[in-house]
Amino acid sequence: MLNKFFKLERHGTSVRREVTAGVTTFLTMAYVIFVNPAILSDAGMDPGGVFVATCLAAALGTAIMGLWANYPIAMAPGMGLNAFFTYGVVLGMGYPWEVALGAVFLSGVLFVAISVFRVREWIINAVPHSLKMGTVAGIGLFLGIIAMENAGLVVDNPATLVGLGDMGQWSVVLAALGFAGIVALDRLKVPGAIIIGILGVTAAGVVLGVSDFNGIVDVPPDPGTVMFRLDIRAALDLALVGVIFAFLFTDLFDTSGTLIAVAHRAGLLDERGRLPRLRRALVADSLATVFGAAAGTSSVTCYIVRAAGVRAGGRTGLTAVVVALLFVAALLLSPLAATVPTYATAPALLFVACLMMRSFVEVDWNDVTEYVPAAALAMTMPFTFSIANGIAIGFVSYAAVKLLSGRYKAVKPAVGVLAVLFICKFVWIG
């Protein structure tokens, strides 16, 4: 039955290989069940409720990806998007987390429409490659400064805005050791390097008396503290248009890039280099974001996690179904999630940040009108603590330098229109 449904023989795989790939994939991304509640709790959300929402959204999105699109790709709340949700929209702009969830919900609905009506290709082709890569790298920088702040490595400084923290604190020492351990384990291709690092730092903190141990297994917390608490009406505020677009824009390019990268690694592209059933995969991602917002978490997106599952032999949706089942089983680990301190998740965030910053390699560094807007976009994100501001600066600066250098033909209509809209936003909304 499994062979027939997932077409295992056609893809040159087996049930055993798919299950192994699913377990491997889950181990490489299980850190999200600890990191996501830690980040969203800073927005005032109940970490127990977010823990349940994270597991449910990841399980549903991954199951749809596996059963409907038949791809070995897992989904979960995206790193960077959750940080933007908390530190950019809630703490930075002052909106309640219920309104921020409403913005995530609306971005998911727009993503569904874009995927169903085939607008995706027009948007993807209109946005310059340098801005796409600059966005990914900028989110990496954004995550990096959050990670170092959570670890205590970076602190406030009234003279220079930021400064070096107390390097003698156990939280800083353990975070540094955890980061080094994650990098070393990843270099050795150990499955679950990130989750091993998080749990290792947590255990060391408990032994040293720096943090408390709350247990490992228990019944799931009450999801009602965050589930169906989104405020869609308030999210329709004109001032949140840029935020909704930022959620949509980032999720769209993250998902598209991940799908192509993993499919290429797995040999799933057709003879013309296209991805079969692309629309199904995109709809699965967008539906997961809509459900995730209703459940109580930030945008859900595809996880590349170094294509670990594909490296382990995953070729079909059976891999994704195994991951989904493991996320359901993880609902019992809420006490362990409550035990993991912020300084233990910081190394994971910093490592993910480093992975995302590799996108700078794909920027055309021989063309000043390409790499300057990309660099400005990336730097604006951490320096203003806003992904939306970074995207806006990227589009405006790209259009400006192209026009002023006489290369107006390189500015496609969609980019020009968005640049004008962003300028209007800065002038009249702020």
For residue range 14-54, list pLDDT tens digits in order: 898 889 888 888 988 889 999 999 999 999 999 999 999 99
Is pLDDT above 80 for 255?
A: no
Nearest to 151 by CA among 186, 194, 201, 192: 201
Q: Which span out of 127-131, 133-137, 210-214 was modeled with the highest average pLDDT? A: 210-214
Q: What is the mean pLDDT of residues 76-87?
A: 90
Q: How high is the mean pLDDT of the chain?
A: 88
Task: Compute the 3-state secondary structure of the chain and give helix, strand, coil in percent, each to the nearest 5.
Answer: 70, 5, 25
Q: What local confidence, expressed as pLDDT, does residue 2 receive?
A: 80
Q: What percent of the chain has pLDDT over 90?
A: 47
Q: What percent of the chain has pLDDT over 70?
A: 92
Choose between 268 and 362: higher pLDDT: 362
**Rounded Cα–Cα distance for residues 368 and 218 (Å):** 56
Choose between 89 and 122: higher pLDDT: 89
Is pLDDT above 70 for 266?
A: no
Q: What local confidence, expressed as pLDDT, does residue 306 receive?
A: 47
What angle do the packed helices 97-116 and 278-295 form, to 10 degrees?
160
Out of 82-96, 149-163, 299-313, 366-380, which region has the weakest mean confidence (pLDDT)?
299-313
Q: Containing H/E element for 155? A: strand 154-157
Is pLDDT above 60 for 202?
A: yes
Confidence (pTM) = 0.83
Is pLDDT above 80 for 259?
A: no
Contact 284, 61 (CB under 8 A): yes
The string of pLDDT tens digits covering residues 353-386 is: 898 888 899 899 999 999 999 999 999 989 988 8
Q: Which residues contact 120 (CB under 8 A, 6 or more apart)?
A: 114, 252, 256, 282
Question: Token digits for 378?
Answer: 């990336």
Is pLDDT above 50 for 336?
A: yes
In this structure, the dihedral spanned by the alpha carbons of residues 132, 287, 338 and 94, taken in order and rounded to 10 degrees, is 60
Q: What local confidence, expressed as pLDDT, does residue 98 receive?
A: 97
Is pLDDT above 70 for 264?
A: no
Out of 1-5, 43-47, 187-191, 315-319, which region has the weakest mean confidence (pLDDT)?
1-5
Nearest to 55 by CA among 227, 243, 254: 227
Q: What local confidence, expressed as pLDDT, does residue 311 receive?
A: 63
Q: What is the mean pLDDT of residues 317-334?
A: 94
**Rounded Cα–Cα distance for residues 77 and 63 (Å):** 14
Choose between 341 and 302: higher pLDDT: 341
Q: What local confidence, expressed as pLDDT, does residue 227 receive?
A: 96
Banded pLDDT at 261 (limits 50, 70, 90): low
Helices (H) and strands (E) in the chain, counts: 20, 4
**Rounded Cα–Cα distance for residues 24 and 46 (Å):** 29
Nearest to 293 by CA among 103, 84, 93, 80: 103
Q: What local confidence, expressed as pLDDT, does residue 48 receive?
A: 95
